[in-house]
């Protein structure tokens, strides 16, 4: 559960937003909850229809996720294990569309009138709300509602905005969903909710330079009560943005790693 929460929260910083040049964003992440502390870095690379996300300081160790919207593939790499898994996202996406109705998720992003300076830009503030149902293993006593609330600060027209928007448009046209592939299969509503949040953020015309997030678990069953007492928070702030050309090799599995197809 902590692995899913950290991926979800960390990804929201990167879900900012039309193809002009490559872009690379480095951000720091801090947070706590669910029995662990988070203190690390996220680096996101975008080149045409491909996105790479490197994470460190997370409970799952050093990881890389590569998403190819054109090929409709997701590659998840665990550097500590020197292993990679390649997942056909088109198949999972079709399963999610069949099992999750649009009414099951709620994703809202609304301007709140605030602003803050980050990396020399005045970033506009927005309120976030994401609510999705969750059932672990299709067990009735494992049902709960997951809500994520917080704030995001958007740097309008920031370098790389066009690249992010182009990627998310390609992803939407390909019917892709995002998240941990294994968790998508058992918790499809969360993946659909996260994807809907990405789509909403793609319309803001800028990049997310900072997010403050809080995740809560609600429900009447025992598991919801246990999770509700732990909670989860994460704060992310961009520390560098580059539009230098990115080599194609950054979107491949390192030599010597064991690769499997899922």
Q: Say how many CA atoms lie within 13 Å of 236 toward its Cβ.
A: 36
b/e burial code for range 5-27 (CB count within 10 A of at least 16 → b): bbbbbbbbbbbbbeeeebbbbeb
Please tell me which residue, 158 or 142, carries the higher pLDDT value.
158
State the pLDDT at residue 19.
35
Is 12 within 8 Å of 179 (Cβ atoms)? no
CA distance 76 to 79: 10
For residue 116, CA distances in Å to 65, 126, 211, 234 come to 30, 11, 12, 18
Stated as kind and residue range, the H or E segment containing 169 is helix 161-173
Q: Say yes or no to pLDDT of 215 above 90.
A: no
Segment 26-30 shows an average pLDDT of 92
Segment 202-207 shows an average pLDDT of 83
Q: Say yes or no to pLDDT of 11 above 80.
A: no
Q: Say how many CA atoms lie within 13 Å of 136 toward its Cβ.
A: 14
pLDDT band at 203 (very low <50, low <70, confident <90, very high): confident
How would you write 170-227 as a 3-class SS string?
HHHHCCCCCCCHHHHHHCHHHHHHHHHHHHHHCCCCEEEEEEEEEEEEECCCHHHHHH
State the pLDDT at residue 12.
45
State the pLDDT at residue 236.
92
Q: Say yes or no to pLDDT of 152 above 90.
A: yes
CA 33, 1, 27, 147: dihedral to nearest 10 degrees? Answer: -80
State the pLDDT at residue 131.
83
Segment 214-240 shows an average pLDDT of 72
3-state DSSP percent of the chain in helix, strand and coil, to 5: 30, 45, 25
Segment 25-42 shows an average pLDDT of 81
Q: Say yes or no to pLDDT of 126 above 70.
A: yes
Q: Say yes or no to pLDDT of 9 above 50.
A: no
Residue that is written with structure tokens 């390909």 in the block: 174
Segment 207-224 shows an average pLDDT of 76
Segment 99-113 shows an average pLDDT of 77
Q: What is the mean pLDDT of the chain?
A: 77
pLDDT band at 118 (very low <50, low <70, confident <90, very high): very high
Q: Say yes or no to pLDDT of 182 above 50.
A: yes
For residue 35, CA distances in Å to 10, 75, 80, 229, 258 come to 17, 28, 22, 11, 31
Number of neighbouring beta carbons within 10 Å of residue 187:
23
């Amino acid at each position: 559960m902590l692995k899913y929460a950290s991926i979800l929260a960390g990804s929201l910083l990167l879900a900012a937003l039309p193809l002009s040049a490559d872009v690379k964003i480095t951000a720091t992440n801090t947070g706590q909850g669910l029995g662990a502390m988070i203190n690390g870095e996220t680096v996101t690379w975008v080149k045409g229809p491909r996105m790479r996300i490197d994470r460190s300081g997370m409970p799952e160790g050093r990881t890389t996720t590569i998403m190819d919207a054109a090929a409709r593939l997701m590659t998840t790499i665990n550097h500590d294990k020197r292993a990679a898994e390649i997942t056909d996202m088109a198949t999972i996406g079709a399963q999610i569309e069949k099992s999750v109705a649009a009414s099951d998720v709620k994703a809202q992003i609304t301007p709140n009138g605030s602003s803050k300076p980050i990396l020399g830009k005045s970033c506009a503030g927005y309120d976030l709300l994401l609510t999705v149902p969750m059932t672990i293993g299709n067990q009735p006593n494992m049902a709960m509602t997951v809500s994520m609330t917080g704030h995001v600060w958007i740097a309008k027209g920031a370098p790389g905005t066009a690249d992010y928007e182009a990627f998310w448009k390609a992803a939407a046209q390909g019917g892709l969903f995002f998240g941990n592939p294994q968790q998508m299969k058992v918790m499809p509503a969360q993946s659909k909710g996260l994807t809907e949040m990405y789509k909403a953020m793609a319309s803001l015309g800028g990049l997310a330079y900072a997010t403050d997030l809080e995740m809560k678990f609600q429900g009447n069953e025992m598991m919801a009560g246990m999770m509700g007492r732990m909670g989860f928070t994460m704060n992310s702030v961009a520390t560098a943005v580059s539009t230098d050309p990115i080599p194609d090799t950054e979107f491949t599995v390192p030599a010597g790693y064991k690769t499997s197809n899922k």
